[in-house]
Structure 1
Amino acid sequence: MDRANEIYKKIEDLKSIRGRNQDAILAACLYIACRQEDRPRTVKEICSVANGATKKEIGRAKEFIVKQLEVEMGQSMEMGTIHAGDFLRRFCSHLGMTNQAVKAAQEAVQKSEELDIRYCYKSVLVLVAYISLATGVAEGTIRNSYKDLYPYASRIIPTSYAKEEDLKSLCTP
């Protein structure tokens, strides 16, 4: 919260937020602060506490703030990279997964990153968790991710969690 407040004060001092959606600006400050403090949240999560600001409004506000602060500071604003593992524990907790399942999911995410499968971090989580509600990923995206990642299942899913025979029983996409 302190970091978000600091970002807001900087942007407020520039007097360039007049007439803009205040709820979206505040939510964007929180989103940026979470990213900078290595506690990333999805825009959807931020949206749920943003007094009605939409994902689109928050996204626009974030871009505006980043651009304004980069001009002010004369350098690019670092927000860190998002990885699937950043969200994994929280999403698994929402699903009520066992510690063994969470550990397997963490190994699967790590292996998928080693394989350099270039998919959205949420898509990797979908392979691990399969649940649309916990991740906020559309069902179509889940189906497409499953199709794309299915060929890698034996290399991603830890053998301590699922044996080769178990993987053979996975539905083919």
Structure 2
Amino acid sequence: MAFKAIASMVDRLSLVATIKDRASEIYKRLEDQKCTRGRNLDALVAACIFIACRQESKPRTVKEICSIANGASKKEIGRAKEFIVKQLKVEMGESMEMGTIHAGDFMRRFCSNLGMRHEEMKVVQETVQKAEEFDIRRSPISIAAAIIYIITQLSPDTKKPLRDISNATTVAEGTIKNAYRDLYPHVTKIIPEWYAKGRDFKNLTNPRA
């Protein structure tokens, strides 16, 4: 039943087969340890998929995973994820790695969700790379969403409402605003020169005004 649920959830998120295999492998290890009994199956399966995505360098947000988790809440999935990592570290030692994520890991998908053009996708990717040189203490997903917001505000013909960016990235509007406020002082340094030329930075709202 769990393996069918993994296959179904993976299909609904249009994930690659390697993620289904990895999630199934993680669940099988838990089953072999006889530690799945009495636990929320949907949360456990969703957490296996979340971890598999991270390990395969195809990360998804908890919110995205939650959308296909058959009613399991973000909190339940988070607890299940912590439980899995703890259990498998006992079995595998420190080789149970979650993988490191960066803002760039989410960019292409977020841009595609918003119907952005190739040039805009390119500048967003380059801006993300530049932003990593600064000490922006926000989650990679929040930074990704805020940079998309910045680039779309600099392009009057493709300007996107904050609400649309929030929906496409699954990041709350308030969270995007906070990340934008932290990025704003560095904006002329992180946007590539080839794109910045001729752009009116006055189009950007001053978050501190």
Could you say which TM-score interval applies, normalised by the shorter chain?
Answer: over 0.9
Alpha-carbon distance in structure 2 between the residues aligned to 1:135 and 1:161 = 23
Partner of residue 30, structure 1: 49
Output aligned runs, 1:26-105, within 5 Å.
Answer: 26-105=45-124
Q: Kindly indicate whether the alpha-carbon contact (under 8 Å) linking 1:105 and 1:129 is maintained by their aligned counterparts in 2.
A: yes
The secondary structure found in structure 2 opposite 1:75 is helix
Partner of residue 143, structure 1: 177
Alpha-carbon distance in structure 1 between the residues aligned to 2:137 and 2:178 = 14
Q: Kindly indicate whether the alpha-carbon contact (under 8 Å) linking 1:34 and 1:40 is maintained by their aligned counterparts in 2.
A: yes
Alpha-carbon distance in structure 2 between the residues aligned to 1:74 and 1:145 = 35
The structural deviation recorded for 1:159 is 2.4
Q: Kindly indicate whether the alpha-carbon contact (under 8 Å) linking 2:143 and 2:180 is maintained by their aligned counterparts in 1.
A: no
Q: Kindly indicate whether the alpha-carbon contact (under 8 Å) linking 2:46 and 2:66 is maintained by their aligned counterparts in 1.
A: yes
Q: Kindly indicate whether the alpha-carbon contact (under 8 Å) linking 1:101 and 1:161 is maintained by their aligned counterparts in 2.
A: no
| AA partner of residue 197 (structure 2) | K
| Structure 1 unmatched runs, 5+ | none
CA-atom RMSD, angstroms? 1.4
TM-score, scaled relative to structure 2: 0.78
The secondary structure found in structure 2 opposite 1:97 is coil
Alpha-carbon distance in structure 2 between the residues aligned to 1:60 and 1:122 = 20
The secondary structure found in structure 1 opposite 2:196 is coil
Q: Does 1:7 align with 2:26?
A: yes
Alpha-carbon distance in structure 2 between the residues aligned to 1:108 and 1:81 = 19
TM-superposition CA deviations, 1:1-56 (whole Å, max 9, x none): 11111110000111111111001111111111111111111111111121111111
The secondary structure found in structure 2 opposite 1:147 is helix
TM-score, scaled relative to structure 1: 0.94
Identity fraction in percent: 67
Q: Kindly indicate whether the alpha-carbon contact (under 8 Å) linking 2:103 and 2:141 is maintained by their aligned counterparts in 1.
A: yes
The secondary structure found in structure 1 opposite 2:192 is coil
Q: Which moved more, 1:82-91 or 1:124-133?
A: 124-133
| Structure 2 unmatched runs, 5+ | 1-19, 150-164
Q: Kindly indicate whether the alpha-carbon contact (under 8 Å) linking 1:154 and 1:164 is maintained by their aligned counterparts in 2.
A: no
The structural deviation recorded for 1:165 is 5.1
TM-superposition CA deviations, 1:100-133 (whole Å, max 9, x none): 0000000100000022423211221122222211
Aligned counterpart for 2:128 among listed residues 87, 109, 129: 109
Partner of residue 153, structure 1: 187
Alpha-carbon distance in structure 1 between the residues aligned to 2:110 and 2:48 = 23
